[in-house]
């Protein structure tokens, strides 16, 4: 699980994505707000019933970029 706030910068299909991801404290799901330069903000959350990550409908972004964000969110925390 990601910390409460993390910057994002990655490349998918030659396009650079920059922004940040912030955990939203929600009693029902593990939820994150994602803000990327040049895109509308959207949410990503873990659906506990299906054990599957979901993205809000207004996430008008390449599915590969959403997959990259989910991979970063679901990484175990780094050990110091």
pLDDT tens, residue by residue, 47-59: 888 889 999 988 8
Contact 32, 19 (CB under 8 A): no
Kindly state the DSSP code that residue 23 receives in the 8-state scheme. Answer: E
For 43-69, what is the mean pLDDT?
90
> Rounded to whole angstroms, how far apart are CA atoms 78 and 3?
10
pTM given for the model: 0.81
Q: For residues 74 and 51, is the Cβ–Cβ distance under 8 A?
A: no
The predicted model gives 7-18 an average pLDDT of: 95
Q: Diameter of the chain by CA atoms?
A: 37
Quick one: pLDDT band at residue 28, thresholds 50, 70, 90?
confident
State residue 11's pLDDT score: 95
């Amino acid at each position: 699980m990601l910390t409460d706030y993390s910057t994002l910068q990655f490349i998918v299909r030659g396009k650079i994505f920059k922004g940040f991801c912030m955990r939203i404290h929600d009693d029902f799901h593990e939820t994150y707000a994602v803000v990327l330069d040049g895109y509308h903000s959207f949410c990503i959350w873990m659906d506990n019933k299906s054990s599957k990550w979901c993205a809000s409908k207004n996430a008008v972004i390449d599915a590969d970029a959403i997959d990259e964000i989910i991979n970063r969110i679901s990484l175990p925390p780094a050990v110091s």
